[in-house]
Structure 1
């Protein structure tokens, strides 16, 4: 079973998507964890069916206190 990362949402900030952006790409850039894409999707349910953004869409990026990896993950996956 996959291990879940834990985080605390402290608010959000607007982000204007560029053509080709995806939730996992944004999560990797914003949090250094592609698995945090689910947090961005949860904050933007109207866009949950988008795979690649066309550009110009304004979404809310959650501001998180920190992202914790489970201790049971191997070091290269933390």
Structure 2
């Protein structure tokens, strides 16, 4: 029977959302791939609507998770 995976430690940094930011653009800057926005979204489960994030919102950016 396969073992359940253990905890994964991911380093995150805080990013302050600015006017004009988009999840795909942030993913491109963070990971070099604009399709990796899901990694950022997973690190921020409390943010449900990425089209309605207000400037000044703190977003956690995972590093080394891709």
Return the TM-score normalized by structure 1: 0.64
What root-mean-square deviation, in Å, do the aligned CA atoms of Structure 1 and Structure 2 show?
A: 2.0
Instruction: Report the alpha carbon displacement of residue 11 of structure 1 after superposing the two structures with TM.
Output: 1.3
Spell out structure 1 runs of 4+ moving beyond 2 A: none
Partner residue, 1:38: 38
SS at match of 2:25: helix
Q: Which residue of 2 aligns with 1:25?
A: 25
Structure (1/2) with the larger helix percentage: 1
Q: For residue 47 of structure 2, what is the aligned residue in structure 1?
A: 47
In structure 1, runs of 5+ residues without a counterpart are 1-7, 68-78
Unmatched 5+ stretches in structure 2: 1-7
Contact 1:20 1:54 in 2 (8 A): no
1:47 match: secondary structure: coil
Deviation at 1:48, TM superposition (A): 2.8
